[in-house]
Amino acid sequence: MGEPRIRVSAILRWRGRILLCRHEKGGREHWLLPGGGVNSGESLVDALQRELVEEVGVFGDGEELPVEGPVAIVDSIAPERSFAAKHVVHIIFAGDLPEVSLEAVTSQDAAVRGHRLFGAHELDAVVLHPPIQRFLRRWQPGDPVVYLGALWAP
C-alpha cells in the first residue's frame, strides 16, 4: 500500500441542510462532501478553498468561503483483500454557503456529476464516502474536533 493521501473537504450548510457532490465510478453512484486532494506544498485551507472553487463554483475572483475547523478527521482504508490498496486521510472543515441561488453551484471538476442538498434524515439513503452519516446527523458548529477512526472504504 502506498503513502496515505490527504483529502480536505467541507460540511457546507445551507438552511439546515448539507451540500454533497455526486460522483460515479464503475457505474455506481456515491456522494462526497465537496473537497479534494492536497498538493505538495499547499496548506490545508488553501487546498480546500481551491477545491471548493473547482467543485462548487459559487466563489471566485479571490473570494474565499470562511471555514472553521478542522471539525473531524477520518481514516478511510481499503480492506487488504480489495483490488486497489488505498488509504485516504480526510480532514473535514465546515462553513455556511452564501445566500445565493443553488443554481449557481457548478463544477469544473469532471468527476462531479451533480450537487444536492440533504437534510440529516436523508443521509442514510445515500452511499457516502467516507460513511460519516451518523457524525453529520449530530454535528453542531462549535463542537470539538473529533477523530472518527478508521472507516473501511468499500
Task: Name the pLDDT band for 40 (thresholds 50, 70, 90).
Answer: very high
The residues near 141 (Cβ < 8 Å, ≥ 6 apart) are 68, 94
**Which structural domain, as residue segments, surrounds residue 23?**
5-152
Residue 80, Cβ density class (10 Å: 0-12 exposed, 13-18 middle, ≥19 buried) = exposed
Q: What is the pLDDT of residues 9-39, one digit of tens each?
A: 999 998 888 999 888 777 788 889 999 999 9
pLDDT at 104: 55
Residues of the chain with pLDDT > 70: what percent? 79
Q: Give the CATH number, domain containing residue 146.
A: 3.90.79.10
Q: What is the pLDDT of residues 87-131, one digit of tens each?
A: 889 999 999 887 665 655 655 555 666 778 889 889 888 888 888
